[in-house]
Chains A and B, each alone.
Chain A
Amino acid sequence: MLGKLIKHDFRSLSRVLFPTQLAVLGASIIATIGFAFNIRTGFYTSYESGGLQLLRVITAFLSGIMVLAIIAASILVAFIIFQRFYKNLMCDEGYLTFTLPVTTTQILWSKLITAMIWTFISGIVIFISVNIFVLFGTGTSGIVNTEAYREMSKFIGEAFGLLGGRLIWPILEVILFMIVATACNILHVYLALIMGGVASQKHKILAGIGFYFAINIAVTIVATTIQYFLSGAMFRTMDSFNGLPWDLKNSVEIYDLVFSSTQPYYWFYLLFSLAITAGFFILSRYFLKNKLNLE
């Protein structure tokens, strides 16, 4: 049943989000063309006048608008994910959702997984957009500019050459943390919307916004308290790096030392975020299961 829920939730989101992502790609192509035109014809100078000048102003303006459109589209993705959640669970559609032969846990998982997939897709689309821009928008001669990629691959090649395969671990750790943080942020809003719906019949969204900040404050208080107790140890770790011989000769040893001494903090914060995320999930489930009162 979870698979069916995910299928339908994904379809319901994709219907709206797929066109927005196409629009993002389209906007980035237009912005790239505009920028490429400017960079190849020399930017605006007040000495020139006439058609070329006007065209430059227009294309530069267009590029700016398109960048704004891309930013707006990524906000729209989040907005639509939460709007679908709200309508599907807390409004009239909830009468259907909550009478399906599925568990509350399955409903929540489905909403979380589809939201994460779409956050990931929108990230990929922005990554592609940036690459379109770098490749086609930044060259002063020729159509394609691969300079940035050559520099990047040189840097990565050198880094791996120096440190070897061990460099893969911090990369994996960052990815892992991003996944947990994404889930945490999504469930934070879900929980706030659910609590808003449980607490108020008339002003569900307003109450939801209030709960969002209330939850935020509660988590911040806990995090700051933990930070306070950890800070002494963190400063000592930082201090221990002072006398290290920071040069390329010793890079492997230094890397190993720094990496291993920061590991406890990484895992502590990851587990802390996981605990908060699990807390959001459990509370959401509890409220949906026991306190749901669709008017």
Chain B
Amino acid sequence: MKISGSYFLPLPPEQAYQRLQDPEILAGAMPGCESLDKIGEDEYRMKMKMALASLSGNFDGKVRITEQSPPNSFKLMVEGSGKVGFMKGEGLLKFTPKDTGTEVSYEGDVQVGGTIAAVGQRLIDGTAKMMIKRFFDKVAA
């Protein structure tokens, strides 16, 4: 599934870029994230709890940041699997100065499989959008 959108952060691009790579900020902002531990350069192990439709479950996964080009763009990869299936997402985040802040635009692809795909496919689009909005709201806060 393709996802794309943008969000306005009231911070200059350099700060926005930094904030979106700060493990503590990411851990606090990612919905359902229970822990985020650094395991390598720009690579983290993540535990998260996700709920979709009638399903909820714990996911073990990884977050990786690649193709860094500060303060313009980087690529974020998130993947996880659990008892209710797996999810895999990849997105390019772009930072463009706008007014007094930064417009963060993202474009990517989300894949889900297992029970979540069979049961929750119809809701994934809406849920993904909702989760992304919550994420940025927390990053901005």
A binds B: no
